[in-house]
Amino acid sequence: TMGNWLVNHWFSAAVIAAWLGINIFLFTYYFLFFDRDERYFYTRAILGSALAWARASAKCLNFNSMLILLPVCRNLLSFLRGTCSCCRRTLRKQLDHNLTFHKLVAYALALLTAVHTIAHLFNLERYNQSQQATDGSLPAVLSKMHLQGSKWLNPIHSNHTTVEYVAFTTIPGLTGVIITLALILMVTSSTEFIRRNYFELFWYTHHLFLVYFAGLVIHGIAGLVRGQTEQSMAEVHPYQCAEYLTQRDQNCTHHCCKEPEFGSIPAESWKWVLAPIILYVFERILRVWRAQQKVVVTKVVMHPARVLELQMQKKGFRMEVGQYIFVNCPAISPLEWHPFTLTSAPEEDFFSIHVRAAGDWTERLINTFQLEMPRIEVDGPFGTASEDVFQYEVAMLVGAGIGVTPFASILKSIWYKFQQADQTLKTKKIYFYWLCRDTGAFAWFNDLLASLEQKMAESGKADFLTYRLFLTGWDTSIANNVALHFDTATDTVTGLRHKTIFGRPMWNVEFAAVAAAHPRSVVGVFLCGPEALAKSLQKSCHQHSSLDPRKVKFYFNKENF
């Protein structure tokens, strides 16, 4: 429900509300300023309200350009997370929504760029029409003033030009085109599909942000949009003198006969973005420094279905469950860093990742490790620990597809805590659900489940973990195989004791069973998977929670990996 969401995400909600509020304030304030201020009386005579649209969107563009780099300073965020370790965990967890905020700001930039560009196309068209007009109207008269000096109002000085020519030959025009192209490429290449399947394309295209910021800083330097100078305002105020401009004769003696003079608005984008750029430079220096620290690959395991497991050690490396690292292999590409969820438990004396072949870089990494032991660089770990799992007597863990990776760390850690009779572990029972399209991807995780199953059985705790594997995409050959081996104790697909179920889980049945088995427990439901699944689990949590405070309650937690 909305109430629950606000309780858990009040910090995110406050940040978004503040961000929206500042955007609305900046836009409204500067729109009214440029639409009413007397210094722009003559500018408005030519441009109309398109001036206010262009300037107000420019202010908001500067504000959002200032913010866009902050959420991707991951070391800065880690530092913040560390300094607010005394804060409530919900607050620290909000810092994990950094990329959501980054995307939100990016969409705002795209929208504002469209507004700004369209407004300026109208402006250029009006400047051009006014310059070519010979009807003696106010815009025509203003456009012919001071064409020789630097006091002009209309930047188009020739009456033989086109809007396109101006857009590609002036500094604001050309940088505007370049910035917009860079932004379009960055936004389109960062869709979920491209990030998952063509990470390199996303990675390299995103470095156009350098072009974006360089262009942004230069963009306003020429000062094509102008207002009347303070001195000229004192001498010939537009409210008194505007009417004289269109009906002057040669021997005019009135104080309004002096022509108004105009000056540019100083460029200010650099003031907005200077501090974030400096912070980001520090961030990159820190990343390079951290990457120089030696990483020893202690074990390489090649699992079926082309999944590579790397076990590593690094001095001073401390991880918690649910965290991730960035990995670089200079032999493949000195620039590319790829995120991987840690699959080891904090109790182990190494940290590990599982790399599946999904794109050029991962393919090359797997191939390289089959031939030699290349040097690996690691930055991290990042992210807030998923320690909430340990706080519930009963935990329902749901992993969908690749979303199962963090649960490797969680399940192992729970088992270690359980064995060592750790006082922080409140968990008495775990239900684990894994939804997956094909059996190939099961292999490595399958081995982990099998070894956990065996260890639990040996120590007489076989009922501590109940799990179900749901194959959501299956073909007839599997079906026939299952039909033949239906009476075996272990599963034909995975070799595990618990049978694999074909199709999707009936969540109502699963929740009802857990509620019946634990009528007085508080059950934590954890998902790492798609949004659609989150909605149905949230609904089930709501439906199956008892209104009686002494009876079963389900709490939903969606992990953000």
Domain boundary among 286, 319, 341: 286
Tell whether 227 and 265 lie within a shared domain. yes
User: How does residue 479 score in pLDDT terms, banded at 50, 70 and 90?
Assistant: low
Asked whether 389 and 527 are in contact (CB, 8 A), the reply is no
pLDDT above 70 as % of the chain: 90
Q: Which of 81-85, 251-255, 316-320 has the highest mean pLDDT?
A: 316-320
Asked whether 305 and 363 are in contact (CB, 8 A), the reply is no
Tell whether 68 and 136 lie within a shared domain. yes
- Please say if the pLDDT value at position 483 is more than 60: no
Domain boundary among 263, 286, 309: 286
Residue 74: closest CA among 322, 324, 318: 324
Distances (CA, A) of 295 to 27, 331, 369, 375: 49, 15, 15, 8
**Average pLDDT rounded to a whole number, residues 7-26:** 88
Q: The tokens of 61 are what?
A: 């563009």
The answer as to whether 215 is a domain residue is: yes
pLDDT above 90 as % of the chain: 52
Total domains present in the chain? 3
Could you tell me which residue, 23 or 461, shows the higher pLDDT? Answer: 23
Tell whether 148 and 265 lie within a shared domain. yes
Q: Which sign does the torsion angle of CA 344, 338, 194, 192 carry?
A: positive
pLDDT digit string, tens, across residues 326-344: 999 999 998 889 989 999 9
Asked whether 302 and 370 are in contact (CB, 8 A), the reply is yes
The answer as to whether 9 is a domain residue is: no
Domain boundary among 253, 286, 319: 286
The domain spanning residue 512 has which CATH number? 3.40.50.80
Neighbouring-strand partners of residue 1? none
Tell whether 359 and 461 lie within a shared domain. no
Asked whether 57 and 35 are in contact (CB, 8 A), the reply is no
Report which secondary-structure segment, H or E, holds 45.
helix 41-47
Tell whether 465 and 342 lie within a shared domain. no
Tell whether 129 and 36 lie within a shared domain. yes
What's CA 361's distance to the chain center, in Å? 21
pLDDT digit string, tens, across residues 495-510: 555 567 888 899 999 9
Q: 325: helix, coil or strand? A: strand
The answer as to whether 394 is a domain residue is: yes
Tell whether 536 and 548 lie within a shared domain. yes
The answer as to whether 146 is a domain residue is: yes
User: How does residue 559 score in pLDDT terms, banded at 50, 70 and 90?
Assistant: low
Q: Is the peptide bond before 381 cis (omega within 30 degrees of 0)?
A: yes
Residue 169's identity, in one-letter code, is T
d(CA 527, CA 523): 13
Please tell me the predicted confidence (pLDDT) of residue 427.
Answer: 86
d(CA 513, CA 268): 63
> 10 Å Cβ neighbour count for 186?
20
Tell whether 336 and 424 lie within a shared domain. no
128: left (phi over 0), alpha (psi -120 to 50) or beta: alpha
For strand 324-328 and strand 295-303, is the pairing parallel, antiparallel, or unpaired?
unpaired
pLDDT digit string, tens, across residues 88-99: 666 667 777 888
The answer as to whether 199 is a domain residue is: yes
User: How does residue 489 score in pLDDT terms, banded at 50, 70 and 90?
Assistant: very low
**Average pLDDT rounded to a whole number, residues 179-197:** 92
Tell whether 363 and 411 lie within a shared domain. no
Q: Structural domain of residue 161, as residue ranges?
A: 15-286
String of DSSP letters for 53-100 = HHHHHHHHHHHHHHHHTGGG-HHHHHHHHHHTTTS-HHHHHHGGGHHH
Tell whether 281 and 396 lie within a shared domain. no
**Average pLDDT rounded to a whole number, residues 266-284:** 95
The answer as to whether 4 is a domain residue is: no
The answer as to whether 402 is a domain residue is: yes
d(CA 146, CA 128): 16
The domain spanning residue 339 has which CATH number? 2.40.30.10
The answer as to whether 330 is a domain residue is: yes
Please tell me the predicted confidence (pLDDT) of residue 280.
Answer: 96
- Please say if the pLDDT value at position 193 is more than 60: yes
User: How does residue 364 score in pLDDT terms, banded at 50, 70 and 90?
Assistant: very high
pLDDT digit string, tens, across residues 390-418: 888 899 999 887 778 888 898 899 888 88
> 10 Å Cβ neighbour count for 473?
11
Please tell me the predicted confidence (pLDDT) of residue 361.
Answer: 92
Q: Please count the residues of the chain.
A: 561
Maximum alpha-carbon separation in the chain: 112
Mean pLDDT for the chain? 87
pLDDT digit string, tens, across residues 65-75: 999 999 999 88
Tell whether 37 and 132 lie within a shared domain. yes
pLDDT digit string, tens, across residues 148-179: 888 999 999 988 888 888 889 999 999 999 99
Tell whether 88 and 116 lie within a shared domain. yes
